[in-house]
Structure 1
Amino acid sequence: MIKYLGSKRRLVPVLETLFDFSGARTALDLFTGTTRVAQAFKGRGATVTAVDSARYAEAFAQCYVATDARDLDAGDLAAAVDHLDGLPGEEGYVTEVFCRRSRFLRPENGVRIDAIRRALDEDFAGSPLFPVLLTSLVEAADRVDSTTGVQMAYLKAWAARADRALCLRVPDLLDGAGTAVRGDALELVRDGSLGGFDLAYLDPPYNRHRYTANYHVWETLVAWDAPEHYGVACKRTEVRDEPTSVFNRKREMPAALAEVVAGVDAGVVVLSYNDESWITRDELVDLCAVRGEVRVLVFQQDRYVGARIGIHGPDGRPVGEVSHTRNVEYVVLAGDAATVRRMEAAVGDRSR
């Protein structure tokens, strides 16, 4: 799984417990990102729908959520991974843009990424193996990149992992079918096309930075459209030119989130947020009250590594000081009183 801003890796055991004690059999992950939480629910036996507006997130969801491991031949998958991993390098867009014009990846890995991505379209387009192999490639590239984990910039000096050779691995797939949807969360809730669920998990963006900018290299690797780019980081021009999501706009985000919370068709809502964002804890409680009983679980978390490193100028010197290294993660439960209280009790004394 790729390095990801806002990853819920540390919260997954808690979210699994909440899911178990909710009694849910179907689940919606409305801002799925890497699908870490969607995978956790699927692993607990849920039928999961994973939604996101990013192309790379859709690819991950097609791999980990929509693909039923029982439908693939493990030998065929392993052979395909070995075949792609053995291809000789060929220079292309990744090598030119992300290795030479910028420095996200070493050229020796860039040429292999170019060759493998071309082969995916030529040899596996339309195959059920395609999203699994594409995910394998993105994850392999992430293991040899030179960033702090976001692609707003690359490191001034090469990260040690960038010296490693690109190596594809077979993704760990789960049994069971699911659904991957690429679209805008608010519009999908408004039109009701997602259907109903026992549990909906919401983890909306916390600020103005869109994830397709934070992970524009993976967005391009999935789209494979050789886009025009701008700036030192060679971001896709659509990041600059297209309107941002309502969830990345401070004035509009609270109303949009309130509409999603009120409108999503689910028995219980689980909402992740933190204390560095645009909505306060009390405001979260107020907007979730429309669902019924509300409880807030509180967790102390280390801030993202980039925040702990701080901001540096073009000369590599620190600019200002790191203000704090930890924040508070809220997990809000909203729904039927008996269900919410049962879920809360299962994770212990975390309410405030």
Structure 2
Amino acid sequence: MIKYLGSKRVLVPVLGAMAEAAGARTAVDLFSGTTRVAQEFKRRGIHTTAADRATYTGVLAGCYIATDARAVDREHLAAVLADLQATPPVRGYVTETFCEQARYFQPKNGMRIDAIRQRIEDEHAGTELYPVLLTSLLEAADRVDSTTGIQMAYLKDWAPRSMRDLELRVPVLLDGPGASVTGDVMQTVGMLPAVDLCYVDPPYNQHRYFANYHVWETLVRWDAPDHYGVACKRVDVRDDETRSVFNSRRTMPAALADVLSRIRARTVILSYNDESWITVPQMAGMLRDSGHEAVEVFAFDSKRYVGAQIGIHNPAGKKVGAVSHLRNTEYVFVAGGAQAVRDVAAGLADGAGGQRSRVLDRTAAALGTLSTGP
């Protein structure tokens, strides 16, 4: 799975256990990103729909969620990837842009990416294997990149992993059906199916995934866009159409409240951390206002993303700022009927990998209607 800002890798087992405790058989992962959480739901036998805005997340969802492993000829897939692996390198857009003008990949790997990506487009576009092959290439490129995990910049010195040769691998596909929806959540939320459970992991600060992962967006779209700056970001990163209401302190709270009010799910699980623009009481209030009878909150200590640990550097690579903190608190809200919320809380009270948030003790009285579980 690709490196990703805001990844819920550590929380995935807990979120899966919550879904099971809630008795979910159908689910939506509303801001699916790398699909880690959606995969966990599918792995537990829950029919899952993964929804997100970015084109590259649609490819990942097409591979891991919408593709049923039982319908894939594994030997044929392995043979196709082996054939692609043997493609002679070609200098193209990726090599010129992301290896020579910028330094995301070693040129030897950039040429492999160029050649393999063009063959996938020429020979497999429109087929059931298309998202699987693109996912294999995305993950192969991620294993040899030279970044901290976001593509707003690259490392001053080549990362040791960038010296390796690009290697296509067969993605670990999951049995069972699923679905993928790509589009702005403000438009798609009303078109999503009614489900037992909806997991919501919204953007909640200024970090823009379209800009942070512009290389993956270009690799999937394969549109050779004009670019700007040292990071060679796509020019449409500057366009208003690629900006999200969730990346503005002014518009994010109202947008999230609107989305929550239109979700059709018996139980909602929502995660965010203490670097958000919304406080715990405000978030709990939003969930209550969207029609849920009870709300429970769990808190988890978490290490901040690697870029925050490295610190702030100027374009010349000189450290110019201090790191304010290395850890934060991840909050997980469970909202729904009182019994469903109690079932989830009871199932996770012991051995959940986290602790019940003490913030609730301070906010319950003020909110009045906030349930703190059994």
CA displacement at 1:206 relative to structure 2: 2.2
Q: Distance in 1 between matches of 2:194 and 2:27?
A: 9
* 1:88-107 alpha-carbon deviations (Å, 9 max, x no partner): 10111000000001000000
Q: Distance in 2 between matches of 1:329 and 1:178?
A: 28
Q: In structure 1, which of residues 189, 197, 200 is the aligned counterpart of residue 198 of structure 2?
A: 200
User: What is the correspondence of 1:100-115 to structure 2 with a 5 Å cutoff?
Assistant: 100-115=100-115
Q: Distance in 1 between matches of 2:319 and 2:96?
A: 30
Residue ranges of structure 2 left out of the alignment (5+ in a row) = 350-354, 359-374
Corresponding residue number in structure 1 for 2:245: 246
Conservation of the 8 A alpha-carbon contact between 2:204 and 2:252: no
Conservation of the 8 A alpha-carbon contact between 1:207 and 1:278: yes
CA displacement at 1:313 relative to structure 2: 2.2
DSSP 3-state at the match of 1:331: strand
DSSP 3-state at the match of 2:356: coil
User: What is the correspondence of 1:2-21 to structure 2 with a 5 Å cutoff?
Assistant: 2-21=2-21
Q: Distance in 1 between matches of 2:288 and 2:103?
A: 47
User: What is the correspondence of 1:1-352 to structure 2 with a 5 Å cutoff?
Assistant: 1-189=1-189, 192-243=190-241, 244-290=243-289, 291-348=292-349, 349-352=355-358
Higher deviation after alignment, 314-323 or 290-299:
314-323
CA displacement at 1:241 relative to structure 2: 1.9
Q: Distance in 1 between matches of 2:227 and 2:205?
A: 23
* 1:72-95 alpha-carbon deviations (Å, 9 max, x no partner): 101000101111111110111000
Q: Distance in 1 between matches of 2:80 and 2:61?
A: 20
Q: Distance in 2 between matches of 1:101 and 1:347?
A: 50
**TM-score, with normalisation over the residues of structure 1?**
0.98
* 1:100-150 alpha-carbon deviations (Å, 9 max, x no partner): 010000000000000000000111122211110100000000000000000
* 1:146-199 alpha-carbon deviations (Å, 9 max, x no partner): 00000000011111100000001000000111111101112222xx21120100
Q: Distance in 1 between matches of 2:128 and 2:296?
A: 41
Q: Distance in 1 between matches of 2:177 and 2:235?
A: 36
Letter in 1 for 2:306: V
Q: Distance in 2 between matches of 1:126 and 1:159?
A: 35
Q: How many residues are aligned here?
A: 350
* 1:30-72 alpha-carbon deviations (Å, 9 max, x no partner): 1000000000000000111100110000000000000000111
CA displacement at 1:221 relative to structure 2: 0.3
Q: Distance in 2 between matches of 1:292 and 1:271?
A: 15
Conservation of the 8 A alpha-carbon contact between 1:295 and 1:351: no
Conservation of the 8 A alpha-carbon contact between 1:220 and 1:226: yes
Conservation of the 8 A alpha-carbon contact between 2:201 and 2:271: yes
DSSP 3-state at the match of 2:269: strand
DSSP 3-state at the match of 2:299: strand
Q: Distance in 2 between matches of 1:34 and 1:186?
A: 20
DSSP 3-state at the match of 2:111: helix
CA displacement at 1:321 relative to structure 2: 1.2
Corresponding residue number in structure 1 for 2:368: none
Higher deviation after alignment, 314-323 or 152-161:
314-323
DSSP 3-state at the match of 1:14: helix
Residue identity (%): 60
* 1:195-217 alpha-carbon deviations (Å, 9 max, x no partner): 20100000011212210110000
Conservation of the 8 A alpha-carbon contact between 1:298 and 1:329: yes
Conservation of the 8 A alpha-carbon contact between 1:81 and 1:170: yes
RMSD over aligned Cα atoms: 0.9
CA displacement at 1:292 relative to structure 2: 1.6
